[in-house]
Every structure is written in structure tokens, then in C-alpha cells.
A and B are shown apart, each in its own frame.
Chain A
Amino acid sequence: GQNIDQPTEMTATEGAIVQINCTYQTSGFNGLFWYQQHAGEAPTFLSYNVLDGLEEKGRFSSFLSRSKGYSYLLLKELQMKDSASYLCAAPSSGSARQLTFGSGTQLTVLP
């Protein structure tokens, strides 16, 4: 199956920029997702990358390097409401019908 790694926790200051990294197995790769999950709530979709490069969506950007099996989520102008868990997910090896999720990176934004 797919093996996804991301840091467990990160802390940043309001107004700053933070980068959350994710590595995954490259065999049979078909795109990478980022989801945001606030405490006690369901995950919500942030981005999907299938080609190399940076995709920007307002304050959030997501980068993908398929050859390196590497992605990151970049959050700019951090706000307190960005405190949440950020989950990296990729289609499971051998099955495009399933997603494998990382354990999530818990981001805490401090005033």
C-alpha cells in the first residue's frame, strides 16, 4: 500500500508563513490531496495536485514533485482560524479507488 509521512506538529505565529511537508511512495502515483480538519470536525478538501509545480489558491498553495515523491502545503498570512490538522492523502498503490491518508500535521497558530 501507500506510505505517507508528514510531521506530527508545527507551531507558527499569526501573520507568518508556514510550510507543511509530505512524502509518499511514487509507484502508481496519480495525484496528491490536502485536506484541512478542525478539531472535532470532518476533513474538508483544500487542494489536489497531479502535475509538478505550485498551485496557488488564495492564502494556500500546494506544491508537488513527482520524481521526489514530495509535496508541501504553504499557508501565508496565517490566521488563528488556520489552527487545524492538515492531512496529506494519495491514491493507494494498486487501487485508484482508495485514498491513503497521512496521520496529519497539527498546526497551532499563536497570537
Chain B
Amino acid sequence: NAGVTQTPKFRILKIGQSMTLQCTQDMNHNYMYWYRQDPGMGLKLIYYSVGAGITDKGEVPNGYNVSRSTTEDFPLRLELAAPSQTSVYFCASSYRTSYGNEQFFGPGTRLTVL
């Protein structure tokens, strides 16, 4: 199993550009999550999904959009990139809800907006 994979690993955007961060998991997990991590900080939840066709906002959803058309894929869309979105983005998945179910993380995408 590849686990959770993310592309790209690095990206530099100009202010106002848009992009999609890709996330795929091959563990047949129902739950998927997008986090951002700023330097020296913990993880902040952007969006999450409990299954195909179902998404919900996390703590910091503004400026982002997601979709979940399949169990495997959970792309994160940035529209009109801003310097405040410079961060490391992690995708994660878990079998079920937070009760005792560990989250498996992808390797991250390092995004810089200039």
C-alpha cells in the first residue's frame, strides 16, 4: 500500500493564482482531512470528509474549497492565492471518526505564495 500520497511536494504561486493540491489514499478509509501547518505551530483543520460526496468545514476554511467524488481522492482547491496561505499542507485519512482511530498523513505539500 502506498498509504496517503500528495502532489505536488513543493509549489510557488503568485498572488491571485489558483491551484489544486492532490491527495489520494489506497486504504479504503472513509474519513479524509486537509490540514495546514504554519512554522512552529500545530495543525489546523481546513476541511474534512466523512465519505464520497460529503464534505464539511474545519477551523480555517476561508480561501479553500474541496470535493470528494470518490473514496480515494480528496483534492484541495486554492482560489486567488494570498501570502497568508503560505504553509505546509497535509492530507490525512482514517478508517472512521476520531474515537480511537489514528490518522495517517501524507508527506505534505510546501506552498509559498509571493
What residues make up the interface of A, taking CB atoms closer than 8 Å to B?
Answer: 1, 4, 8, 30-31, 33, 41-45, 48, 50, 87, 89, 91-92, 96-104, 106
Report Cα–Cα, A106/B40, bound state, in Å: 9
Report Cα–Cα, A45/B35, bound state, in Å: 16
**A31–B98 touching, CB < 8 Å:** yes
Interface of A is mostly: loop
**A100 cross-chain contacts in B, Cβ below 8 A:** 45, 59
- Please, how many residues of chain B have a CB less than 8 angstroms from a CB on the other chain? 25
Task: Return B103 CB to nearest CB of chain A, in Å.
Answer: 7
Which residue, B44, B59, B105, B107, has most C-beta atoms of chain A within 10 A?
B105
**B44 cross-chain contacts in A, Cβ below 8 A:** 101
Report Cα–Cα, A50/B50, bound state, in Å: 22
**B31 cross-chain contacts in A, Cβ below 8 A:** 97
**B59–A1 touching, CB < 8 Å:** yes
Question: Which residue of chain A lies nearest to B40 when distances are taken between CB atoms in the complex?
Answer: A103
Please tell me if B58 contacts chain A, counting CB pairs below 8 Å. Answer: yes
Interface of B is mostly: loop
**A50–B48 touching, CB < 8 Å:** no
Given known A-B contacts A42-B108, A48-B102, A87 and B45 have beta carbons under 8 A apart:
no
**A91–B99 touching, CB < 8 Å:** yes
Which residue, A30, A31, A96, A98, has most C-beta atoms of chain B within 10 A?
A98
**A98 cross-chain contacts in B, Cβ below 8 A:** 45, 48, 58-59, 98
12 A–B contact pairs at CB < 8 A?
A1-B59, A31-B98, A45-B102, A91-B99, A92-B45, A96-B97, A96-B98, A97-B97, A97-B98, A98-B48, A101-B44, A106-B40
Report Cα–Cα, A104/B35, bound state, in Å: 15
Contact with B41, one of A1, A4, A99, A103 (Cβ below 8 angstroms) = A103
Report Cα–Cα, A36/B58, bound state, in Å: 22
Task: Return B68 CB to nearest CB of chain A, in Å.
Answer: 14
**B100–A41 touching, CB < 8 Å:** no
**B105 cross-chain contacts in A, Cβ below 8 A:** 42-44
Please tell me if B53 contacts chain A, counting CB pairs below 8 Å. Answer: no
Contact with B100, one of A1, A48, A102 (Cβ below 8 angstroms) = A48
